A and B are shown apart, each in its own frame.
Chain A
């Protein structure tokens, strides 16, 4: 994969993720973690090769088929990209509205989800009034509200303290238990080391698998 006429950002990648698995993607800055996620959530196309997802090569999917594929993927963006003019509740309900669901069908679900991520008392508030951790959890709530089959998160603990990082990790583990395939790009080696989850290591555009480490006792059980 490359941007424009630049050099390859990712090359000779060949890996698969089992359905319902939980993986971290790690590597130095500029290794291509975000680009890898973009390939999966259909924000970019590979210059060569294929991305096999949901039983089809999504890199070749026609434009009119891509929206329905995207609805099956939840994404927590590195910069969160919350819609600042919408309340926490509206931000969370966004994917459901886009999917054409009727408000009566999901009001309660959205409220429960926001309560679950610890934003039960902030549903009516605008993102600008939320703390960094609350914004992060709001972005996660929006990413998972549609019960995606795959959840991708790009540096989801990058701007929060250790305690909040642990709470966010617990959320991902809980979602994974419910059957969602989780892939998290992060620099947080401490979090990775204590999680006991499999790691895909990216370096200079190439990928390698690393065996899961034993979760440290310090990592609280979800």
Chain B
């Protein structure tokens, strides 16, 4: 005999059971996928920032290799070149590097040679370009040639191109991995929906024969799997955010490594993940449920 039941206080129960035995497994899988997707997103953002920073540094500078002409000392040639470059529009700062810097650069190639000073080592001039209207390599070459300075201008364009290409590649791989995660999550949810519908075929049939529209039944499963996926998404995103905080704190101002600087704002990348997981799950569940319900008829 049950306790006294007051119909006026009755609230409709959900059509589908609120909990299923397989829910924890599905939540775990979605959480792992979301965790990996969030890490990918944060990694892509950090890599993009690093690539921008590197290209920004490289585009703001140029290196000029100065070769002395007959009778001219290397130091005099470098000083002359620096003087010419300082007067070139688009240049904000010029600095002739000490000979020791040049020796340091070639020492790895020649070994520990004691009389390096006897070699005709070219001098280097570091040029900082104007941030707003930078001179390009052609301007610098023309200015040096006009003053008969024998020099080679390296504006780092080769490196910049490679870094930009690497940045685009990282972003592309990141997007591909992210899409792969979303597709995997959708497949997992579709599989779970099929299993859920097969296990709850009795409910589907009762609802169906009681006059429920196909879309009504599909929306029940859609809402259910969206809720389960959003729980998994929240756990995965939370774990990824925690890891991001750990990396940021462990790495100080530049993140864990200067090569992949994680900023606090990067953690925002995890925010849409639970919603995206819910949307992907809802769409997969709806499509699967509609297809299966049509088979039942």
Chain A residues with CB under 8 Å of B205's CB are 43, 81
Contact B209 A75 (CB under 8 A): yes
Name the interface size band of chain A: 35 or more
Out of A68, A75, A94, A123, name the residue touching B5 (CB < 8 Å).
Answer: A123
B114 proximal to A (CB < 8 A): no
Contact A98 B211 (CB under 8 A): yes
Cα separation A123 to B213 with both chains bound (whole Å): 27
Cα separation A86 to B17 with both chains bound (whole Å): 8
How many A-B residue pairs have C-beta atoms within 8 angstroms? Tell me.
74
A103 proximal to B (CB < 8 A): yes
Which residues of B in the span 1-52 have a Cβ within 8 Å of any Cβ on A?
1-3, 5, 7-8, 10-13, 15-17
Cα separation A1 to B75 with both chains bound (whole Å): 104
A125 proximal to B (CB < 8 A): yes
Number of B residues whose C-beta is below 8 Å from A? 28
How distant is B219 from chain A, measured CB to nearest CB, in Å?
12
Chain B residues with CB under 8 Å of A103's CB are 10-12
Contact A83 B206 (CB under 8 A): yes
Tell me which of B1, B5, B15, B212 has the highest count of chain A C-beta atoms within 10 A of its own C-beta. Answer: B5
Contact B12 A93 (CB under 8 A): yes
B191 proximal to A (CB < 8 A): no
B295 proximal to A (CB < 8 A): no
Q: A86-B13, A124-B2, A124-B5 are in contact. Are A63 and B211 (CB under 8 A)?
A: no
Chain B residues with CB under 8 Å of A71's CB are 210-211
Contact A67 B5 (CB under 8 A): no
Contact B3 A124 (CB under 8 A): yes
Cα separation A5 to B297 with both chains bound (whole Å): 17
How distant is A64 from chain B, measured CB to nearest CB, in Å?
8
A169 proximal to B (CB < 8 A): no
Q: A81-B202, A83-B202, A107-B10 are in contact. Are A89 and B5 (CB under 8 A)?
A: yes
How distant is B20 from chain A, measured CB to nearest CB, in Å?
10
Cα separation A85 to B21 with both chains bound (whole Å): 14
Contact A70 B5 (CB under 8 A): no
Chain B residues with CB under 8 Å of A34's CB are none
B203 proximal to A (CB < 8 A): yes
Out of B7, B203, B206, name the residue touching A89 (CB < 8 Å).
Answer: B7
How distant is B15 from chain A, measured CB to nearest CB, in Å?
8
How distant is B233 from chain A, measured CB to nearest CB, in Å?
25
Contact A123 B210 (CB under 8 A): no
A111 proximal to B (CB < 8 A): yes
**In this complex, what residue of A is CB-closest to B211?**
A71
Q: Interface digits, A96-125 against B, CB 8 Å rule (1 contact, 0 not)?
A: 011100010001101100000000011111
Tell me which of B1, B205, B206 has the highest count of chain A C-beta atoms within 10 A of its own C-beta. Answer: B206
Chain A residues with CB under 8 Å of B294's CB are 63
Chain B residues with CB under 8 Å of A85's CB are 13, 16-17
Out of A43, A67, A122, name the residue touching B2 (CB < 8 Å).
Answer: A122
How distant is B18 from chain A, measured CB to nearest CB, in Å?
8
Chain B residues with CB under 8 Å of A93's CB are 12
A203 proximal to B (CB < 8 A): no
Chain B residues with CB under 8 Å of A95's CB are 210-211
Out of A41, A63, A107, A125, name the residue touching B209 (CB < 8 Å).
Answer: A41
- Given A71-B210, A81-B202, A121-B2, 19 more A-B residue pairs with CB atoms under 8 Å apart are A63-B297, A67-B212, A69-B211, A71-B211, A83-B202, A83-B206, A86-B13, A87-B13, A89-B7, A89-B10, A90-B12, A93-B12, A95-B210, A98-B210, A99-B211, A107-B8, A123-B2, A123-B5, A124-B3
Closest 6 CB pairs of A and B: A71-B211, A124-B5, A111-B7, A70-B211, A85-B17, A123-B5
B residues touching A (Cβ–Cβ < 8 Å)? 1-3, 5, 7-8, 10-13, 15-17, 202-203, 205-214, 216, 294, 297
23 intermolecular pairs with C-beta atoms under 8 Å apart: A63-B294, A64-B213, A70-B210, A71-B211, A83-B15, A83-B206, A85-B16, A86-B13, A90-B12, A93-B12, A94-B210, A95-B211, A97-B12, A99-B211, A103-B11, A107-B10, A108-B7, A122-B2, A123-B2, A123-B5, A124-B2, A124-B5, A125-B2
A residues touching B (Cβ–Cβ < 8 Å)? 41-43, 63-64, 66-71, 75, 81, 83, 85-87, 89-90, 93-95, 97-99, 103, 107-108, 110-111, 121-125, 142
